[in-house]
Chains A and B, each alone.
Chain A
Amino acid sequence: MNARTLDPADHLIEKEPYYETVGDEIQLFEAAYRQQIPVLLKGPTGCGKTRFMEHMAWRLKRPLITVSCHDDLTASDLVGRYLIKGGETVWVDGPLTRAVRCGGICYLDEIVEARKDTMVVIHPLADDRRTLPMEKLGQMVEAPPEFCLAISYNPGYQSVLKDLKQSTRQRFVALEFDYPSATLERRIVASESGVSDAIADNLVRFAQMTRNLKGSGLEEGASTRLLVHAGKLIADGVSPVTACKSAVAQAVTDDTDMLKAIQELSSSIF
């Protein structure tokens, strides 16, 4: 057992991450990157936003630094802080600062979850100033042209309290993601999980049924990611109904009646 330890700032993605183009998102992202405009990815969970970022980092040959935002994430978690080393205080850069310094792509996942003060450091980076203020050091870091800021945001399930402010969202070029079309999704599921086309087809059909339930008791339908999980289980010998139950139904809801209904849907197909 030898796990590799990687420093994301020096690490370039070596192998092309599998990504199926839905529309002109790659072209748009590249244009925004060249023009130094930050990008906002919108879309439901598990529809391929993070994978798209990995793919773009590989394509642009830049390191990708991903920060999953949570409700306790503060500005200093992004920018950096003083730590103590042998009686001395030492400044340690946060992930955002490291990305700026190395001219990488910084991807802030689910940005609305972070605390409000994080916006303060993002704003000057996200407009034509492209600088990162480091309050505690009394410095500003100027972003090189290679640096790119991308954030993601799921408009669906967040509460009204956690909406993205206009002052923030109007700094970004928005790319909208949705579940891929049935044909494309079938191809993704088949190629990611290794199941046959026929099973991938049925998985996609099943996912669509759960998406029809959105709004009548389900917050969100099954994502492509869940289908890939179910597909992998099936490819490993699990029966399709069991795989759908564990990988999809249990993942999207806890409600007993809804669980049973979703199971009935999957057992109508497989």
Chain B
Amino acid sequence: MAQSPLTAAEMEASLHSWLDTEFTFFKVEELAVELAVLARNEQDFILDWIRRIAPTHITLAWQFGRRAPALLPRMERRLLEAWAVHTCDVFDRTGLQTALRVMEEVDSFDDAQHKNDAAGALFEDIAPILGNFVCGLSGRRLRIEEGDAAWTDGERFVLPPLIAALPDLDDNFRLAKITVALLWAQTRYGTLRADLAGIATAYADPERALARLYALETLRLTARIARELPRLYRQLQRLRELLDPPLPPGWRRFEASLDTDQATLADSLSLLDAAYAEADCPQGSDQGCLRPDAIAAARAARLDKEKARLRIKLAELLEEHAAAQSTAQSAAETPPDLEVQPRDENGRLDFEITLDSAPLAPPDGVKQLLTSIYLDFGEIPPEYLTPAGDGEYDPTLVFDQPEDPDAVWHGTYHEKGAELYPEWDHGRQHYRKNWCVMREKTVLPAYDDFHRHTLDKYAGVVKHLRRKFEALRDENRLEKRQTQGDEIDLDALIEALADAQDGSEMSDRLFVRLHRAERNIAVAFLVDMSGSTQGWINEAEREALILLCEALELLGDRYAIYGFSGTTRKRCELFRIKTFDEPYGGEVKARIPGIRPQEYTRMGFALRHMTRLLNRVEARTRVLVTLSDGRPDDYFDVYRGQYGIEDTRMALQEASRTGIHPFCITLDRDARDYLPHMYGAARYIILDDVRQLPLKVTDIYRRITT
């Protein structure tokens, strides 16, 4: 039975509190009256979203509430939701003004134009599939992005948020797939090689020329797709029949002359004069649009860089080759004769490199560069094949360098070179995309006596730990009385023979087997470096880490130690103390004492980053141990309180979903209330006394990994 609708009065109270009317003075009474006439499930839907948007910005929530009742009969709920989330994302990225503009755009929403939206292909749903799809097609690796329309610049392809030209969901997906294939073909078959804007300006009406050139190219690429992807081509034909008017008669001859395997951009250009004269110009629903400026910009940025990269890589390749052939004659007097033969067959683009007519196996990186250069020129220009001389290029300019985290921070307030992580917004019940700007830094080593002092102070403990941990080590042990094994278990055999003489049943467990229980554990420690650890806690943490390292070195488990801290989402910092690959040597030993309390406790990004790092390590068991002194918190931010707890909880759940075992050690004695919830996915332990930490941590570790 449907629930009866809420009355205006019932809703008012919640609206007052969500929209903070004491300060904002929104007239929630009017809104409540509007909502009161709706069915209960409609009311619930709108109220739920007002509540979820409100923590992001109250004005947005209010605007949503004002518009939603009128939109509900015209718009699919799925789209309304997408619109709400999109508005919040825009707010996250660019602020209130643009978000309000997005809100307003929805007013011009016209049912007639959007009658198929319910069956539309949403970017979010199709992007992961089509992103992989396009990688599978040969050529440069293209990135997929969301934008205002479908277009490509040769390095990425952009799709609109929704493709909904047809009443059927599968057909809309197919349309998106065909659009992507046509965009891919532009890169693959040389549409983007020409100076498109330059060609168009030669005509009286450049825009008209450009549109006709694009139409010609679409014909040519369609013919290519017919050969490369026959089934897709059949779908393309079917959808064009549904969506587009038939090709104008004048264009049929263009189609016929471009329908060969060899047709290139030059053929399209040679037809451009004739096409320019045509009154009509076909415009397929699947063809996307052409952006000559973006194409030229991407190409200009790419060409020189790739030339330099290729020449450096070739120099490296030759050097390796020379080193491998130690018997070879002394440094070549004549320049090496390098040749590259592109092989473009059967949807596969491959390159054969020959050095003085002997084949060389190019590494993948070189092949990818060659592919990209081949797509730009249709050949590998000879000047690209001279290996770079010594010092000819500055590699720091040619290859992307990791940004110095401090330099970035001191400069403009941007996100260059940082990794971006999402954050779970509890109120919105949705992730905030690319919200945390995370950078890895290294802890400055402190070469003092701390390490030695700690070992002296805990000499007894260290000895005890060693004994305990050594017992844990994967000792090979002989398992007796096995049905299979390398050797015969004589005791068992004698017994069995005696049994046989005796007339009783003879056991078949007569072998000894060497059992090797290999420990295969990778563990990441995440240490709280927030300002609140100042003093006792920080010291205890550092001591605990030293004892831990001593113990872990005995076990041979792979481990990494990182500290985390941050001020606001824009400055989330992870401090490298020891990476998985680093040995526990002088520098690492000095970094542990160098751990200094920094700023706030924003935990989500740190957990997410460690999850990513841990998952890159090959191990049977992955453990993520966090060590913190209290509840998540950040500078003047919503992170304090429920939001931070929920985000941390979500990050822990994400970690355990990927197969990591999270474990949390906390020193916050006053807050047993929130811990079970926050650590829902993780196991945790509360230490009452900071001074226990160094002693306990290793013990805890031993327990959770055996």
Contact with A along B409-435 (1 / 0, CB 8 A): 000000000000000000000000000
The reply to whether B135 and A212 contact each other, CB–CB distance below 8 Å, is yes
Chain A CB within 8 A of B232 CB: yes
Known interface pairs A74-B514, A82-B488; A182-B345 also in contact (CB < 8 Å): yes
Instruction: Point out the residues of chain B lying under 8 angstroms from A167, CB to CB.
Output: none
Chain A CB within 8 A of B137 CB: yes
Instruction: Point out the residues of chain A lying under 8 angstroms from B104, CB to CB.
Output: none
A270: nearest chain-B partner, CB-CB: B231
Chain A CB within 8 A of B72 CB: no
Instruction: Point out the residues of chain A lying under 8 angstroms from B618, CB to CB.
Output: 159-161
Known interface pairs A182-B345, A208-B346, A268-B181; A81-B487 also in contact (CB < 8 Å): yes
Chain A CB within 8 A of B147 CB: no
Instruction: Point out the residues of chain A lying under 8 angstroms from B131, CB to CB.
Output: 261
The reply to whether B488 and A268 contact each other, CB–CB distance below 8 Å, is no
Chain A CB within 8 A of B133 CB: yes
The reply to whether B346 and A264 contact each other, CB–CB distance below 8 Å, is no
The reply to whether A216 and B487 contact each other, CB–CB distance below 8 Å, is no
Known interface pairs A74-B514, A216-B141; A267-B231 also in contact (CB < 8 Å): yes
The reply to whether B486 and A81 contact each other, CB–CB distance below 8 Å, is yes
Known interface pairs A81-B487, A270-B231; A213-B129 also in contact (CB < 8 Å): no
CA distance A200 to B703 in the complex (A): 57
Instruction: Point out the residues of chain B lying under 8 angstroms from A216, CB to CB.
Output: 132, 135, 141
**A 228-270 contacts with B by CB, 8 A:** 257-258, 260-262, 264-265, 267-270
B357 to chain A, nearest CB (A): 16
The reply to whether B488 and A257 contact each other, CB–CB distance below 8 Å, is no
B132: nearest chain-A partner, CB-CB: A261
CA distance A84 to B507 in the complex (A): 12
The reply to whether B132 and A217 contact each other, CB–CB distance below 8 Å, is yes
Instruction: Point out the residues of chain B lying under 8 angstroms from A136, CB to CB.
Output: 487
Contact with A along B671-705 (1 / 0, CB 8 A): 00000000000000000000000000000000000
The reply to whether A84 and B129 contact each other, CB–CB distance below 8 Å, is no
B10 to chain A, nearest CB (A): 42
B606 to chain A, nearest CB (A): 26
Which of B130, B141, B347, B485 meets A261, CB within 8 Å? B130
The reply to whether B346 and A269 contact each other, CB–CB distance below 8 Å, is no
Which of B136, B181, B493, B516 meets A84, CB within 8 Å? B493
Known interface pairs A161-B618, A270-B231; A264-B488 also in contact (CB < 8 Å): no
The 4 A-B residue pairs with the shortest CB-CB distance, nearest first, are A261-B132, A268-B232, A257-B128, A209-B136
CA distance A264 to B229 in the complex (A): 11
CA distance A268 to B129 in the complex (A): 14
The reply to whether A205 and B135 contact each other, CB–CB distance below 8 Å, is no
The reply to whether B364 and A215 contact each other, CB–CB distance below 8 Å, is yes
The reply to whether B346 and A261 contact each other, CB–CB distance below 8 Å, is no
CA distance A217 to B128 in the complex (A): 11
Apart from A212-B135, A261-B131, A262-B132, what 4 extra A-B contacts exist at CB < 8 Å?
A74-B486, A213-B132, A216-B141, A270-B230
Chain B CB within 8 A of A76 CB: yes
CA distance A248 to B132 in the complex (A): 16
Chain B CB within 8 A of A223 CB: no
Chain A CB within 8 A of B569 CB: no
- Using a CB–CB distance below 8 Å, which chain B residues touch chain A? 128-133, 135-138, 141, 177, 181, 228-232, 345-348, 364, 485-488, 493, 497, 500, 510, 514, 516, 618
CA distance A182 to B138 in the complex (A): 14
Chain B CB within 8 A of A166 CB: no
Instruction: Point out the residues of chain B lying under 8 angstroms from A208, CB to CB.
Output: 138, 346-348
How big is chain A's contact interface, by range? Answer: 35 or more
Chain B CB within 8 A of A87 CB: yes
The reply to whether B132 and A268 contact each other, CB–CB distance below 8 Å, is no
Known interface pairs A267-B231, A268-B181; A84-B488 also in contact (CB < 8 Å): yes
Instruction: Point out the residues of chain B lying under 8 angstroms from A131, CB to CB.
Output: none
Instruction: Point out the residues of chain B lying under 8 angstroms from A210, CB to CB.
Output: 136
The reply to whether B346 and A205 contact each other, CB–CB distance below 8 Å, is yes
B588 to chain A, nearest CB (A): 20
CA distance A208 to B344 in the complex (A): 12
CA distance A43 to B515 in the complex (A): 32
Chain B CB within 8 A of A93 CB: no
Contact with B along A195-220 (1 / 0, CB 8 A): 00000011011001111110111000
B134: nearest chain-A partner, CB-CB: A261
The reply to whether A261 and B136 contact each other, CB–CB distance below 8 Å, is yes
B416 to chain A, nearest CB (A): 24
CA distance A136 to B486 in the complex (A): 10
**13 pairs, CB–CB < 8 Å, chain A vs chain B:** A84-B510, A87-B497, A89-B488, A182-B345, A205-B348, A213-B132, A213-B136, A216-B141, A217-B135, A258-B132, A264-B129, A265-B136, A268-B231
Instruction: Point out the residues of chain B lying under 8 angstroms from A213, CB to CB.
Output: 132, 135-136
Instruction: Point out the residues of chain A lying under 8 angstroms from B128, CB to CB.
Output: 257, 261
The reply to whether B133 and A264 contact each other, CB–CB distance below 8 Å, is yes
Instruction: Point out the residues of chain A lying under 8 angstroms from B346, CB to CB.
Output: 182, 201, 204-205, 208
The reply to whether B230 and A269 contact each other, CB–CB distance below 8 Å, is yes
Instruction: Point out the residues of chain B lying under 8 angstroms from A204, CB to CB.
Output: 346
Which has the most chain A C-beta neighbours within 10 Å: B136, B137, B177, B488?
Answer: B136
CA distance A28 to B618 in the complex (A): 36
CA distance A261 to B144 in the complex (A): 14
CA distance A92 to B380 in the complex (A): 62
CA distance A245 to B640 in the complex (A): 49
Known interface pairs A87-B497, A261-B129, A268-B181; A209-B347 also in contact (CB < 8 Å): yes
CA distance A57 to B514 in the complex (A): 35
B143 to chain A, nearest CB (A): 11
Instruction: Point out the residues of chain A lying under 8 angstroms from B129, CB to CB.
Output: 257, 260-261, 264
B343 to chain A, nearest CB (A): 9
Known interface pairs A87-B500, A264-B129; A76-B486 also in contact (CB < 8 Å): yes
Which has the most chain B C-beta neighbours within 10 Å: A204, A205, A268?
Answer: A268
Instruction: Point out the residues of chain A lying under 8 angstroms from B514, CB to CB.
Output: 74
B134 to chain A, nearest CB (A): 9
Which of B132, B231, B364 meets A269, CB within 8 Å? B231
The reply to whether A82 and B487 contact each other, CB–CB distance below 8 Å, is yes
Instruction: Point out the residues of chain A lying under 8 angstroms from B232, CB to CB.
Output: 267-269
Which of B138, B497, B500 meets A212, CB within 8 Å? B138
A148 to chain B, nearest CB (A): 26
Which of A159, A182, A261, A269 meets B348, CB within 8 Å? A182
**A 132-166 contacts with B by CB, 8 A:** 136, 159-161
CA distance A191 to B612 in the complex (A): 45
CA distance A269 to B485 in the complex (A): 52
Which has the most chain B C-beta neighbours within 10 Å: A202, A204, A265?
Answer: A265
B350 to chain A, nearest CB (A): 9
B135 to chain A, nearest CB (A): 5
CA distance A196 to B406 in the complex (A): 63
Instruction: Point out the residues of chain B lying under 8 angstroms from A212, CB to CB.
Output: 135-138
B496 to chain A, nearest CB (A): 8
CA distance A135 to B345 in the complex (A): 55
B325 to chain A, nearest CB (A): 16
CA distance A204 to B347 in the complex (A): 9
**A 75-95 contacts with B by CB, 8 A:** 76, 81-82, 84, 87, 89
Instruction: Point out the residues of chain B lying under 8 angstroms from A258, CB to CB.
Output: 132
Which has the most chain A C-beta neighbours within 10 Å: B135, B141, B618?
Answer: B135
A116: nearest chain-B partner, CB-CB: B516
A265: nearest chain-B partner, CB-CB: B136
Instruction: Point out the residues of chain B lying under 8 angstroms from A262, CB to CB.
Output: 132, 136
CA distance A268 to B231 in the complex (A): 5
A139 to chain B, nearest CB (A): 17
A262 to chain B, nearest CB (A): 7
B187 to chain A, nearest CB (A): 14
B203 to chain A, nearest CB (A): 36
A74 to chain B, nearest CB (A): 6
